[in-house]
């Protein structure tokens, strides 16, 4: 499926800053065999004094921009054309939950997609007993890793309410889980904590979701802003699969990948530091249109 | 294990009468045959022929020196962090230079090995792919910083300064307890320990052939200057700030080596280069010796919540534009579990086994190691695999393991099975003992030695000596070290005299261009000047208040009412005999001074401390009225003493000018303010006298005017008199004088500050006091406040 995507993010600040530095994760990723980026244009207004686009540890395209003079607002605009291929799941060749551990131990690598990065604690996701317990209740003996991921994802989708007003970008997963609500970021963080809690390597994917559903289908949650979902490592043979807990579906060609990380902190669309006082205000517009 | 240690021979001096090394424990004073190691003879002989009184009198000099020098140690545990005296054990640990050389040889190999491991973990990670280090051990450690993977150090090396905690096995050999690679502390403390110890042994030290420490620092400083890409750029020491345990050491080293002392907010990154904000604009830095943990250095790419960092720093490192000592991410080498793998990695990377072994360590993530730990639980310490603290520092995991142990061996084993990948077992080692002075006798106490090495163009250079940590109890296990007793100097001695000091290059008369003053230092000096002047003014107001109170005994007296109201308006509410605002002004001054201790004479610091102590004492004792007025006079003399030090002894650097500017602006404003209120024709009878008294001008007024003070005479004396140091005009002259030397544009025009002050100076120089109004003075205050803003926006932000 071919998409035309436009994204605008606006920040305005109460007090002008004399020095602003931002790290952006907005340019979609080229994933061989999965997603081709035909064209991309990311503009920052006002024009920064310095800009550098380059890969981060996980292979995402990061953009560093700095404003050395006072600014009281900043706008990031992205236009991109992406060809997202459908990647049908095929047979379940994932490791059994019981043998997943030895599959992981056998990987002697710190490469960006090595499963070791995606277990244990990461800056925004700490395993917690309640979420681990929730995950355990969804699995049965002899289950494959893939079935476990799907079972936990479905269960979370039923357990949690989508509520755009209940949380913000800094809400910890454990808190959103305790209150049983949140947005795609919370759904994803909670699912990551659940999976890691039972030893399944799990990471965070940020991206876009097609805005207008195919004829006859319901509009999906998370299409009005940037979206997030989960990827899980299902053993040496199957490798990584992606699951969207907000919509309880396996990820196929409705999802356009921007960046992979351990959690939100690795791939925040805009991570900024500025020398100023006072708060800020954000606006966010997304349009993801299929092109026939 | 060695056998029973023979009891000391009968001929031993009194001071050793109770010195009994424990069986199976190595001792620094006695060798394994029970004979005194020859390196100690001189010291023991020295102590033996002195009475306990004389010894203790000498020993007291050490702590006294440290107190006088302001050496302190901050503890994190309570807030606000109290400063604690540095716990010095007066008797040094003595090691022969041959033995020391062997230690250094072993640790040189280890330092090189750590450099190779670091280069691999932030490079190809072959140790992982070849199976010498488990991937998950590294991947789950918060010390392994992903943004730094692939970033090559500009200097060509990751590690430039490392420390090792070592001790002696029962068989007499040395072993490593821990590696310190993140931002090793202690080098500056070692130097202070040395100075304190030489005060104690002033007569013994010069003939003891002790290797000097100063050469180590000089050669490290030279090595920093020779790092690639420096091209005469400045080197800085980066500190987390005054609340950090090591802050004293940071200021000390900065002063000793002539390095800039910076905090994260002092720096900015521009065009990929790290710059320091100075009063002359941003200037590029060449090297940073960081005393801040890696993770805190760049909130943009590392810890998001860090307040200590400089956004963009990681990108500057990526562009190899700055030398970082040590490279970011070096904390990964401190991980306890690393000890389990280093012996094998050494063989793999260098082809040779470790020359000096490290504490035997087993990572419980491997089944064979886990089984070994479980079957030998009684001689194991269990700790977190990724913990960074030394084996004898009890972290949460170690404490948990002890609780499990108490609950029974089955519990502990089950826990190790469940949490294995996060745990290590470390041999419950025995450390050696050395003499500590306890109640008039020398007693054996467990100790470890901190050895520090720095990279120079000629390889690793070791500080000859350093410091030893002593445990409090006499049990010689590593665990006994946990309650951290005291520290002692380490003397590395030669059989022959050593040069008194390494040859120093004598200065020629050629001067060095003064370095630009960092903006934050300028800001703190400026505010220090303001606060000290504010304290001076407050003291005079409080004194005037209590004098009137003593005179009338009537708190409703109209003069007291006016004065009290005025004081309330300027934030000195009379809420107690000595208002609480005085102490908060002093802590503000203290706070500013503490951030510029590297630019501030120890005498000045001491004087400021002394004012604080006096206020505390007087707050408890001073009675309202005369007594309090006298107390204020005492304090005023002390404040004048401080100002005198600054005025008489401080070099006229840019820093001094900002301090003096702060003082002049504050004084000018405070004079204008009190003149508006007290020289007002409508003010109660006797207010003009208050104005004169606040300006310390009673005598001058009698000499310059006939009759009692009037609003006109007061305005003339306090505003328009060019010869009165407590007049507004005099202070405006001062500000102009100072402004001429501030950095400014090169177009020859007056600076923005001069453009504000010049018209004011002209106005009051020609003004007739008869016609001056409160509005004129109000306008003066507005302009002064604008001058302060201009200073801030041009030089201080």
pTM of structure: 0.87
CA nearest to A63 within chain B: B315
Contact A186/A173 with Cβ under 8 angstroms? yes
Does some domain include residue B355? no
The H or E element that residue B572 is part of is: none
Tell me the C-alpha distance between A127 and B221, whole Å: 46
Domain end (from B628, B650, B672): B650
B417 part of contact set with chain A, CB < 8 Å: no
Range with lowest mean pLDDT among A274-283, B148-157, B563-572: A274-283
Tell me the C-alpha distance between B643 and B531, whole Å: 12
Q: Does A114 share its domain with A256?
A: yes
Q: Does B677 share its domain with B583?
A: no
Assigned token pair, B135? 């991937």
Q: How confident is the model at residue B746 (pLDDT cuts 50, 70, 90)?
A: low
Q: Does A259 share its domain with A281?
A: no
Please give the angle made by the CA atoms of B748, B754 and B758, to the nearest 5 degrees.
115
Tell me the C-alpha distance between B421 and B251, whole Å: 41
Q: Look at the block and give the residue holding tokens 């639980």.
A: B377
Which residue in B135, B272, B301 is closest to A116 by CB distance? Answer: B135
Mean pLDDT score across all residues of chain A:
91
Range with lowest mean pLDDT among A22-26, A77-81, B168-172: B168-172
Contact B17/B82 with Cβ under 8 angstroms? no
Contact B493/B210 with Cβ under 8 angstroms? yes
Which residues on chain B are in Cβ contact (under 8 Å) with A121?
140, 142
pLDDT, average across residues B484-505: 79
Please name which of B350, B273, B356 lies closest in space to residue B318, comparing C-alpha atoms: B273
Which residue in A19, A52, A57 is closest to B149 by CB distance? Answer: A57
Q: Following CA atoms B484, B489, B493, B499 in sequence, which dihedral angle do they give, to the nearest 10 degrees?
A: 150
Which residues on chain B are in Cβ contact (under 8 Å) with A63?
none
B149 part of contact set with chain A, CB < 8 Å: yes
Domain range for A11? 2-85+268-291
Q: Does B127 share its domain with B242?
A: yes
CA nearest to A272 within chain B: B300
Mean pLDDT score across all residues of chain B:
88
CA nearest to B303 within chain A: A123
Q: How confident is the model at residue B402 (pLDDT cuts 50, 70, 90)?
A: confident
Does some domain include residue B32? no
pLDDT of residue B1: 41
Range with lowest mean pLDDT among B531-545, B617-631, B739-753: B739-753
Domain end (from B650, B685, B703): B650
Q: Does B220 share its domain with B293?
A: yes
Does some domain include residue A53? yes
Q: What is the 3-state secondary structure (H, E, C) of B117-149?
A: HHHHHCCCCHHHHCCCCCHHHHHCCCCCCHHHC
Share of chain B above pLDDT 70, in %: 93
Q: What SS3 state is found at B219?
A: helix
Q: Does A59 share its domain with A124?
A: no
Q: Does A69 share its domain with A115?
A: no
Q: Does A78 share its domain with A102?
A: no
Does the pLDDT of residue B2 top 50, yes or no?
A: no
Does the pLDDT of residue B644 top 50, yes or no?
A: yes
pLDDT, average across residues B96-104: 97
Domain end (from B623, B650, B677): B650
Task: Measure the N-to-C terminal CA separation of chain A; round to a whole number of Å.
Answer: 8
Q: How confident is the model at residue B509 (pLDDT cuts 50, 70, 90)?
A: confident
Does some domain include residue A217? yes
pLDDT of residue B566: 94
Q: Does B682 share its domain with B609?
A: no
pLDDT of residue B81: 42
Residue B316 main-chain phi, psi, to 5 deg: -65, -40
Q: How confident is the model at residue B76 (pLDDT cuts 50, 70, 90)?
A: very low
Does the pLDDT of residue B574 top 90, yes or no?
A: no
Test A110 with B270 for CB contact under 8 angstroms: no
Residue B444 main-chain phi, psi, to 5 deg: -75, 130
Q: Does A37 share its domain with A109?
A: no
Assigned token pair, B627? 């007594």
Q: Does B482 share its domain with B574?
A: no
pLDDT of residue B781: 96
Q: Does A208 share its domain with A106?
A: yes
Test A21 with B129 for CB contact under 8 angstroms: no
Does the pLDDT of residue B478 top 70, yes or no?
A: no
Residues in chain B: 797
Does some domain include residue B112? yes
Q: Does B268 share its domain with B150?
A: yes
Would you tell me how many other CB atoms lie within 10 Å of the CB of residue B230?
Answer: 18
Does some domain include residue B348? no
CA nearest to B295 within chain A: A123
Q: How confident is the model at residue B351 (pLDDT cuts 50, 70, 90)?
A: very high
Tell me the C-alpha distance between B290 and B734, whole Å: 39
Does some domain include residue A90? no
Does some domain include residue A144? yes
Q: Does A234 share its domain with A282?
A: no
pLDDT, average across residues A4-30: 88
Test A116 with B311 for CB contact under 8 angstroms: no
Beta strands in A91-165 (DSSP E): 161-162
Assigned token pair, A122? 């990461």
Q: Does B655 share its domain with B675?
A: yes
DSSP letter string over B430-494?
B--EEEEEETTEEEEEEEEEEEEEEEETTEEEE-SSEEEEE-SSS--BGGGGGG--EEEEEEEE-
Share of chain B above pLDDT 90, in %: 58
pLDDT, average across residues B331-337: 97
Test A108 with B130 for CB contact under 8 angstroms: yes
Contact B284/A5 with Cβ under 8 angstroms? no
Which of A15, A16, A17, A21 to probe by mutation at the B interface, max B CB count within 10 Å?
A21
Instruction: Confirm whether the ipTM is greater than 0.85.
Output: yes
pLDDT, average across residues A20-32: 94
Q: What SS3 state is found at A19?
A: coil
Tell me the C-alpha distance between B308 and B313, whole Å: 12
pLDDT, average across residues A10-28: 86
Which residues on chain B are in Cβ contact (under 8 Å) with A105?
134, 136
Q: Does A191 share its domain with A276?
A: no
Better-scored residue on pLDDT, B795 or A193: A193
Tell me the C-alpha distance between B188 and B213, whole Å: 10
Q: Does A213 share its domain with A246?
A: yes
Residue B760 main-chain phi, psi, to 5 deg: -65, -45
Test B304 with A52 for CB contact under 8 angstroms: no
* Number of domains, chain A: 2
pLDDT of residue B185: 80
pLDDT, average across residues B526-530: 94
pLDDT, average across residues A224-248: 94
Range with lowest mean pLDDT among A158-162, B80-84, B167-171, B288-292: B80-84
Would you tell me how many other CB atoms lie within 10 Å of the CB of residue A55?
Answer: 12
Contact B89/B488 with Cβ under 8 angstroms? yes
Q: Does B244 share its domain with B175?
A: yes
Domain range for B595? 519-650
pLDDT of residue B3: 45
Which residue in B128, B146, B797 is closest to A57 by CB distance? Answer: B146
Test A104 with B138 for CB contact under 8 angstroms: no
Beta strands in B457-595 (DSSP E): 459-462, 466-470, 486-493
Q: Does A251 share its domain with A241?
A: yes
Residue B651 Ramachandran class (φ > 0 left, ψ -120 to 50 alpha, else beta) = beta
B758 part of contact set with chain A, CB < 8 Å: no
Assigned token pair, B49? 């022929």
Which residue in B128, B299, B311 is closest to A109 by CB distance? Answer: B128
Q: Does A255 share its domain with A141?
A: yes
B270 part of contact set with chain A, CB < 8 Å: yes
Does some domain include residue B240? yes
Does some domain include residue B703? yes
B130 part of contact set with chain A, CB < 8 Å: yes
Q: What is the CATH number of the domain that holds B298?
A: 3.40.50.11290
Chain A positions touching chain B (beta carbons under 8 Å): 18-19, 21-23, 50, 52, 56-58, 64, 66, 68, 104-105, 107-110, 114, 116-117, 119-121, 123, 265, 271-273
Does the pLDDT of residue A275 top 80, yes or no?
A: no
Tell me the C-alpha distance between B443 and A63, whole Å: 63
Test B271 with A50 for CB contact under 8 angstroms: yes
pLDDT of residue B596: 85
Q: Does B639 share its domain with B675?
A: no
* Number of domains, chain B: 4
Q: How confident is the model at residue A36 (pLDDT cuts 50, 70, 90)?
A: very high
Does some domain include residue B75? no
DSSP letter string over B649-705?
HS---HHHHHHHHHHHHHHHHHHHHHHHHHT-TTSPTTHHHHHHHHTT-HHHHHHHS
Tens digits of residue pLDDT in B593-621 = 888 877 877 788 888 889 989 998 998 88
| Alpha-carbon distances of B401 from B398, B481, B628, rounded to whole Å | 5, 18, 59
B366 part of contact set with chain A, CB < 8 Å: no
CA nearest to B268 within chain A: A19
Q: Are strands B423-427 and B441-456 parallel, antiparallel or unpaired?
A: unpaired
Does some domain include residue A250? yes
Tens digits of residue pLDDT in B193-252 = 898 999 999 999 999 999 999 889 888 888 988 887 667 788 999 999 877 777 878 888
Please state whether the peptide bond connecting residue B107 to the residue before it is cis, i.e. omega within 30 degrees of 0: no
Q: Does B533 share its domain with B571?
A: yes
Test A123 with B304 for CB contact under 8 angstroms: yes
Test B315 with A52 for CB contact under 8 angstroms: yes
* Closest CA of chain A from B785, distance in Å: 21
Q: What is the CATH number of the domain that holds A274?
A: 2.60.40.2250
Does some domain include residue A91? no
Does the pLDDT of residue B4 top 90, yes or no?
A: no
pLDDT of residue B75: 44
Tell me the C-alpha distance between B193 and B180, whole Å: 20
Does some domain include residue B379? yes
Q: Does B315 share its domain with B305?
A: yes
Q: Does B607 share its domain with B726?
A: no
Assigned token pair, B340? 């389990």
Contact A256/A84 with Cβ under 8 angstroms? yes
Tens digits of residue pLDDT in B406-431 = 877 788 899 999 889 999 999 988 88
| Alpha-carbon distances of B422 from B177, B326, B377, B520, rounded to whole Å | 19, 27, 17, 43
Better-scored residue on pLDDT, B77 or B370: B370
Q: How confident is the model at residue B80 (pLDDT cuts 50, 70, 90)?
A: very low
Angle between helix axes B61-69 and B187-200 (nearest 10 degrees) is 130
Residues in chain A: 292
Q: Look at the block and give the residue holding tokens 């390494």.
A: B502
B138 part of contact set with chain A, CB < 8 Å: yes
pLDDT of residue B77: 37
Which of A273, A274, A276, A277 to probe by mutation at the B interface, max B CB count within 10 Å?
A273
Angle between helix axes B61-69 and B52-59 (nearest 10 degrees) is 10
Q: Are strands A50-55 and A2-17 parallel, antiparallel or unpaired?
A: unpaired
Does the pLDDT of residue B70 top 70, yes or no?
A: no
Does some domain include residue A228? yes
Q: What is the CATH number of the domain that holds A168?
A: 3.10.620.30
Number of A:B CB contacts under 8 A? 69
Better-scored residue on pLDDT, A168 or B448: B448
Assigned token pair, B276? 């320091």
Does some domain include residue A92? no
pLDDT of residue A270: 92
Cβ-in-10-Å burial (0-12, 13-18, 19+) of B470 comes to buried
């Amino acid at each position: 499926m071919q998409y035309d995507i436009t994204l605008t993010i606006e920040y305005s600040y109460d007090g002008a800053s004399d020095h602003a530095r931002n790290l952006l994760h907005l340019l979609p990723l080229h994933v061989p065999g999965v997603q081709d980026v035909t064209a991309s244009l990311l503009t920052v207004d006002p024009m920064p004094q310095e800009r550098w686009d380059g890969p981060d540890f996980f292979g995402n395209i990061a953009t560093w921009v700095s404003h050395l003079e006072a600014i009281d607002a900043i706008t990031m605009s992205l236009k991109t054309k992406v060809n997202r291929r459908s990647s049908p799941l095929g047979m379940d060749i994932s490791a059994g939950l019981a043998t997943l551990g030895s599959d992981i131990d056998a990987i002697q690598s710190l490469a960006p997609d090595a499963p070791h990065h995606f277990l244990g604690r990461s800056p925004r996701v700490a395993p917690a007993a309640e979420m681990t317990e929730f995950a355990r209740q969804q699995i049965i003996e002899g289950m494959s890793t893939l079935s476990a991921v799907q079972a936990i994802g479905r269960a979370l989708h039923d357990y949690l309410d989508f509520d755009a007003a209940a949380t913000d970008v800094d809400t910890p997963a454990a808190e959103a889980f305790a209150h049983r609500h949140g947005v795609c970021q919370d759904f994803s963080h909670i699912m990551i904590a659940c999976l890691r809690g039972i030893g399944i390597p799990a990471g965070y994917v940020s991206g876009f979701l097609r805005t207008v559903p195919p004829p006859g289908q319901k509009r999906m949650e998370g299409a009005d802003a940037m979206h997030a979902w989960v990827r899980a490592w299902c053993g040496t043979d199957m490798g990584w699969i992606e699951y969207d807990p907000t919509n309880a579906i396996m990820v196929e060609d409705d999802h356009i990948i921007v960046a992979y990380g351990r959690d939100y902190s690795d791939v925040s669309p805009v991570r900024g530091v500025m020398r100023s006082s006072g708060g800020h205000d954000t606006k966010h517009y997304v349009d993801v249109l299929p092109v026939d | 294990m060695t056998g029973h240690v023979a009891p000391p021979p009968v001929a031993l001096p009194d001071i050793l009468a109770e010195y009994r090394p424990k069986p199976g424990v190595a001792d620094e004073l006695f060798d394994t045959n029970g004979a005194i190691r020859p390196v100690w003879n001189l010291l023991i002989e020295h102590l033996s022929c002195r009475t306990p009184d004389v010894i203790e009198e000498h020993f007291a000099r050490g702590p006294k020196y440290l107190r006088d020098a302001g050496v302190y140690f901050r503890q994190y545990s309570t807030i606000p962090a109290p400063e604690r005296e540095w716990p010095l054990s007066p008797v040094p640990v003595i090691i022969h230079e041959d033995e020391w050389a062997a230690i250094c040889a072993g640790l040189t190999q280890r330092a090189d090995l750590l450099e190779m491991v670091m280069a691999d973990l932030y490079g190809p990670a072959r140790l992982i792919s070849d199976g010498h280090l488990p991937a998950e051990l590294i991947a789950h450690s918060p010390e392994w910083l992903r943004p730094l993977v692939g970033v090559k150090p500009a200097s060509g090396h990751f590690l430039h300064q490392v420390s090792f905690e070592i001790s002696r096995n029962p068989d007499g050999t040395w072993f490593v307890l821990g590696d310190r690679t993140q931002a090793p502390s202690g080098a500056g403390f070692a130097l202070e320990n040395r100075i304190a110890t030489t005060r104690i042994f002033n007569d013994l030290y010069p003939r003891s052939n002790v290797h000097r420490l100063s050469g180590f620092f000089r050669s490290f400083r030279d090595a920093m200057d020779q790092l690639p890409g420096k091209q005469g750029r400045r080197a800085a020491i980066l500190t987390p700030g005054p609340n950090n345990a090591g802050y004293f050491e940071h200021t000390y080293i900065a002063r000793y080596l002539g390095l800039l002392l910076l905090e994260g907010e002092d720096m900015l990154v521009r065009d990929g280069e790290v710059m320091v904000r100075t009063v002359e604009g941003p200037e590029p830095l060449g090297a940073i010796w960081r005393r801040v943990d890696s993770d805190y250095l760049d909130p943009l790419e590392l810890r998001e919540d860090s307040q200590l960092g400089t956004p963009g720093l990681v990108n500057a490192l990526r562009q190899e534009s700055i030398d970082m000592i040590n490279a970011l991410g070096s904390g990964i080498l401190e991980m306890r579990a690393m000890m389990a793998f280093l012996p094998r990695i050494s063989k793999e990377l260098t082809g040779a086994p470790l020359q000096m072994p490290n504490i035997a360590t087993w990572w419980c993530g491997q089944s064979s190691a886990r089984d070994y730990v479980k079957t030998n639980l009684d001689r194991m310490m269990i700790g977190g695999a990724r913990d960074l603290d030394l084996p004898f520092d009890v972290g949460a995991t170690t404490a948990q393991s002890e609780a499990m142990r108490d609950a029974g061996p089955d519990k502990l084993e089950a826990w190790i099975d469940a949490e294995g990948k996060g745990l290590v077992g470390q041999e419950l080692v025995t450390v050696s003992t050395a003499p500590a002075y306890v109640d008039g006798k020398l007693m054996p106490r467990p100790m470890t030695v901190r050895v520090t090495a720095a990279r120079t163009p000629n390889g690793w250079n070791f500080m000859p000596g350093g410091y030893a940590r002593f445990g409090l109890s006499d049990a010689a296990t590593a665990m006994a070290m946990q309650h951290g007793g005291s520290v002692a100097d380490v003397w590395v001695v030669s059989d022959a005299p050593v040069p008194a000091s390494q040859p120093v290059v004598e200065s020629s008369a050629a001067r060095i261009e003064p370095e630009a003053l960092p903006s934050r230092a300028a800001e703190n000096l400026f505010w220090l000047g303001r606060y000290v002047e504010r304290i001076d003014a407050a003291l005079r107001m409080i004194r005037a208040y209590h004098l009137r109170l003593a005179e009338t005994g009537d708190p409703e007296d109209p003069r007291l009412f006016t004065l009290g109201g005025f004081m309330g308006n300027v934030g000195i509410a009379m809420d107690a005999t000595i208002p609480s605002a005085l102490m908060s002004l002093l802590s503000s001054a203290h706070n500013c001074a503490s951030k510029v201790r590297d630019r501030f004479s120890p005498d000045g610091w001491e004087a400021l401390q002394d004012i604080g102590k006096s206020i505390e004492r007087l707050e408890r004792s001073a009675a309202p009225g005369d007594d309090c007025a006298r107390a204020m006079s005492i304090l005023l003399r002390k404040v004048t003493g401080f100002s005198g030090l600054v005025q008489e002894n401080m070099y006229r650097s840019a820093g001094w000018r900002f301090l003096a500017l702060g003082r002049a602006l504050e004084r000018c404003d405070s004079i204008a303010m009190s003149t508006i209120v007290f020289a007002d024709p409508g003010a109660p009878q006797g207010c003009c006298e208050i104005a004169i008294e606040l300006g310390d001008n009673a005598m001058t007024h009698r000499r310059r005017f006939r009759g009692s003070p009037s609003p006109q005479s007061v305005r003339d004396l306090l505003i328009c008199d060019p010869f009165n140091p407590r007049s507004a005009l005099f202070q405006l002259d001062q500000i102009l004088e100072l402004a001429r030397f501030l950095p400014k544009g090169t177009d020859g025009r007056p600076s923005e500050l001069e453009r504000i002050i010049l018209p004011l100076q002209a106005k009051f120089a020609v003004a007739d006091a008869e016609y001056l109004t409160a509005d004129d003075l109000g306008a003066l205050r507005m302009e002064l406040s604008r001058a302060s803003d201009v200073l801030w926006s041009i030089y201080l932000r």
